[in-house]
Amino acid sequence: MNPFKNIIAKFQSVKKIPQRMGFIVLDSINDNFKKQSFDGRPWKAKQLNDGRSLLVKSGKLRRSIRLAEASWRRIVISTDMPQAKIHNDGGEISVTAKMKKFFWAKYQSTQNPYWKRLALTKKQKLKIPQRRFMGVDSNTKKKLEKEFYNTFKNIFR
């Protein structure tokens, strides 16, 4: 084989670094959902334990997370689910009439006092605890550095 072709093939692998790093971050986000924690810190437990995992009802949020852009300038992981930001960052949401109607319907179908309490609450806002799942934690950072190092190590071997 032509030695220059071999060198060119090795340098072609450098082009794929941003995309591979993006996939490493996506794997890390999926691990956060499996472990129900971020960087070793577990997510705050639900008030109503219905036997389901945290942040997983239909799985839409988890499946919506994708690699939107991978370039040398930036790697963008995104989701089109509106609730993703409030769950990832935490915060407060306004209690609407539609929500109260939903709480009453849930109470009527389950007779669980938790839903009645929510339906009768005088609060104008509900606090959503932070359950970070997106971001680069220390373990992911190590994996990214290792990927970068190994790619260049293979080129100059």
What pLDDT band is residue 50 in, cutting at 50, 70 and 90?
low
pLDDT score of 155 more than 80? no
Residue of 11 and 142 predicted with greater confidence: 142
Where helices occur in 36-137 by DSSP H, the ranges are 60-64, 84-89, 97-110, 113-120
Report pLDDT digits (tens) over 91-144.
999 999 999 999 999 999 999 888 898 899 888 998 989 999 999 999 999 999
